[in-house]
């Protein structure tokens, strides 16, 4: 093998060339040596690859700095390895201005971005909690069945260290590139290697517990915290708690827990507020009354009904609602007053009511005025 040429020399630029000098030099050389322009010319093809590699290193600040310090013998090696294959560049991209050109560069800079990250499947688990636990927050656990790393082979799928080899079809990359000529353009497509299902490895001596997959199905208990005030339908994400990849060839997926919340006997929820209908007697509305009822936060909820209240009036109790998930503090409790209608009144009570009717019922001559006043209030939006 001949001595590797200096990257600056390849691009014909000085060692203090600016980024735009580098880009300019690469462009003109890439045009000159592009295989589409020089079909079946091995020399041009080699030069084209050389130019691509030089550009990939020098256009990347970090790589350029390393190259300037260590030359071709950098301690962590060439990021493109010996098998540097060039990048997906087609004629169209190279000769058009603007975004097309830049997008090949960004693909280019990544260097190994073509070796797409493999990740195991995400899992979704639904978990139901009661209203009180939503209100106060709680520690939950749930038993799920999913694929987990096989204990027998620590996820490798092989009985022993030698029981797994790099895939020949894709040289262990897991992906294969196919080049297709469409008119004047070369189009490259990259796909999972069919021989190793994209893992880059082949198990020759499979583990007996998982039959070479590296994963087994098992029940496991997951534990997680539900913060106070969580909305129904929220998905908690447990990073890396999803399924592992086969043969440990990538990172595990994530586990999502979707929270469902039981209804409460009294309350409806509206964001961070709690709404409650509260039936009280006619006498309570007229004279006012103070009630104390137990509440979710452990302290009694005090409801002060002012004298002269009407059914449909609401009373807001500030700061006793649900913990806000955005912002600080808690929402309110809104109490909607309803009129409690007593059932099965005794004859005695009914006759007492008759005695009161003159003072509490509406009189005949007031009815029409009263209807008119209601209509006017309704139109003005007053109750």
The total of other beta-carbon atoms located within 10 Å of residue 329's CB is 10
| Residue 112 DSSP code | S
Alpha-carbon distance values, 235 to 75, 134, 230, 348 (Å): 44, 14, 10, 60
Nearer to Zn ion, 78 or 249 (CB): 249
Which of 22, 134, 167, 322: binder of Zn ion (CB under 5 A)? Answer: 167
Q: Is 318 exposed, middle or buried (0-12, 13-18, 19+ CB in 10 A)?
A: exposed
Helix (H) or strand (E) holding 70: helix 61-70
Q: CB of residue 174 vs Zn ion: minimum separation in angstroms?
A: 6
CB of 213 to Zn ion, least distance (A): 7
Give min distance, CB of 250 to Zn ion, in A. Answer: 14
Q: Please say whether the beta carbons of 101 and 64 come within 8 A.
A: no
Q: How far is the CB of 61 from Zn ion (least distance, A)?
A: 34
Identify which of residues 174 and 331 has a Cβ nearer to Zn ion in the complex: 174
Q: With contact defined as beta carbons under 8 Å apart, do 305 and 315 qualify?
A: yes
Q: Which of 29, 89, 125, 150 binds Zn ion (CB under 5 A)?
A: 150
Query: Is 177 an interacting residue with respect to Zn ion (CB under 5 A)?
Result: no
Of the candidate spans 89-97, 189-197, 233-241, 374-382, the one that interacts with Zn ion by CB under 5 A turns out to be: 189-197
- Is beta strand 123-129 parallel, antiparallel or unpaired with respect to 255-261? parallel
Report, in Å, the least distance between residue 251 CB and Zn ion.
19
- Member of 152, 186, 278, 289 binding Zn ion (CB under 5 A): 152
Tell me whether residue 129 or residue 148 sits nearer to Zn ion (CB atom): 148
Which of 160/352 has CB closer to Zn ion? 160
Rounded to whole angstroms, the Cα distance separating 381 from 383 reads 7
> 250-269: which residues touch Zn ion (CB under 5 A)?
none
Pick 66 or 175: Cβ nearer Zn ion = 175
Nearest distance from C-beta of residue 203 to Zn ion, angstroms: 9
Q: What binding mask, one character per residue, do residues 191-230 give for Zn ion by CB under 5 A, x or -?
A: --x-xx----------x-xx--------------------
Q: Are 135 and 223 in contact (CB under 8 A)?
A: no
Would you state the structure tokens that stand for residue 139, as one six-digit string?
A: 């520690």
Contact segment (CB under 5 A) with Zn ion among 39-47, 67-75, 143-151, 275-283 equals 143-151
Q: Which of 59, 142, 169, 334 binds Zn ion (CB under 5 A)?
A: 169
Please name every residue paired with 314 in a beta bridge, in sequence order, or none if there are none. 336
Written as one string, the DSSP assignment of 1-66 is -PPPPPHHHHHT--TT--HHHHHHHHHHHHHHH-TTTSTT-HHHHHHHHHHHHHHHHHTSHHHHHH
Least distance in angstroms from the C-beta of 186 to Zn ion: 23
Q: For Zn ion, which stretch binds (CB under 5 A), given 43-51, 53-61, 76-84, 153-161? A: 153-161
- With H, G, I as helix, E, B as strand and everything else as coil, classify residue 358: helix
- CB of 13 or CB of 203, closer to Zn ion: 203
Q: Which is nearer to Zn ion, 51 or 150 (CB)?
A: 150
Q: How far is the CB of 242 from Zn ion (least distance, A)?
A: 19
Segment interacting with Zn ion (CB under 5 A) among 79-87, 150-158, 219-227, 328-336: 150-158
Other CB atoms within a 10 A radius of the CB of residue 115 amount to: 14
Nearer to Zn ion, 196 or 274 (CB): 196
Is the CB of 150 or the CB of 164 nearer to Zn ion? 150
Residues contacting Zn ion: total by CB under 5 A: 12
Measured distance CA(143)–CA(306) in Å, rounded: 51
Q: In angstroms, what CA-CA distances link 253 with 37, 111, 332?
A: 45, 24, 40
Contact segment (CB under 5 A) with Zn ion among 119-127, 168-176, 246-254, 318-326 equals 168-176
Which among 48, 71, 67 has a CA at the least distance from the CA of 57?
67
Q: How far is the CB of 323 from Zn ion (least distance, A)?
A: 45
Residue 200, C-beta contacts closer than 8 angstroms, at least 6 positions apart: 166, 167, 170, 172, 173, 174, 193, 249
* Contact set with Zn ion (CB under 5 A): 150, 152-153, 167, 169-170, 193, 195-196, 207, 209-210
């Amino acid at each position: 093998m001949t001595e590797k040429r200096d990257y600056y020399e390849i691009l014909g630029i000085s060692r203090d060339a600016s980024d735009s000098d580098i880009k300019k030099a690469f462009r003109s050389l890439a045009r000159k040596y592009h295989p589409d322009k020089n079909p079946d010319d091995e020399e041009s093809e080699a030069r084209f690859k050389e130019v691509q590699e030089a550009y990939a290193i020098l256009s990347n600040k970090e790589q350029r700095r390393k190259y300037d310090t260590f030359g071709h013998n950098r301690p962590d090696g060439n990021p493109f390895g010996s098998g540097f294959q060039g990048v997906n560049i087609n004629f169209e991209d190279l000769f058009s201005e603007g975004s097309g050109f830049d997008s090949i560069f960004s693909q280019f800079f990544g260097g190994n971005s073509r070796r797409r990250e493999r990740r195991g499947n995400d899992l979704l688990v639904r978990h139901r909690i009661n209203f009180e636990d939503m209100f106060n927050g709680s520690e939950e656990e749930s038993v799920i069945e999913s694929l987990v790393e096989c204990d027998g082979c620590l996820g490798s799928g092989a009985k022993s260290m030698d029981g797994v080899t790099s895939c020949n079809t894709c040289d262990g990359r897991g992906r294969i590139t196919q080049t297709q000529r469409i008119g004047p353009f070369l189009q490259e497509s990259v796909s999972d290697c069919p021989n190793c299902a994209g893992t880059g490895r082949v198990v020759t001596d499979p583990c007996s517990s998982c039959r070479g997959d590296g994963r087994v199905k098992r029940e496991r208990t997951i534990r997680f915290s539900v913060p106070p005030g969580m909305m129904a339908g929220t998905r908690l994400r447990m990073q890396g708690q999803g399924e592992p990849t086969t043969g440990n060839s990538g990172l595990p997926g994530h586990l999502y827990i979707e929270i469902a919340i039981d209804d409460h006997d009294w309350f409806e929820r509206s964001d961070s507020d709690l709404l409650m209908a509260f039936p009280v007697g006619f006498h309570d509305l007229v004279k006012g009354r103070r009630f104390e009822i137990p509440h979710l936060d452990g302290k009694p909820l005090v409801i002060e009904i002012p004298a002269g209240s009407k059914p449909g009036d609401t009373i807001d109790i500030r700061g006793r609602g649900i913990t806000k998930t955005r912002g600080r503090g808690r929402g309110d409790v809104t109490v909607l007053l309803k009129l409690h209608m007593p059932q099965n009144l005794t004859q005695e009570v009914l006759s007492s009511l008759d005695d009161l009717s003159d003072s509490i019922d509406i009189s005949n001559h007031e009815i029409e005025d009263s209807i008119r006043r209601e209509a006017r209030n309704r139109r003005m939006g007053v109750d």
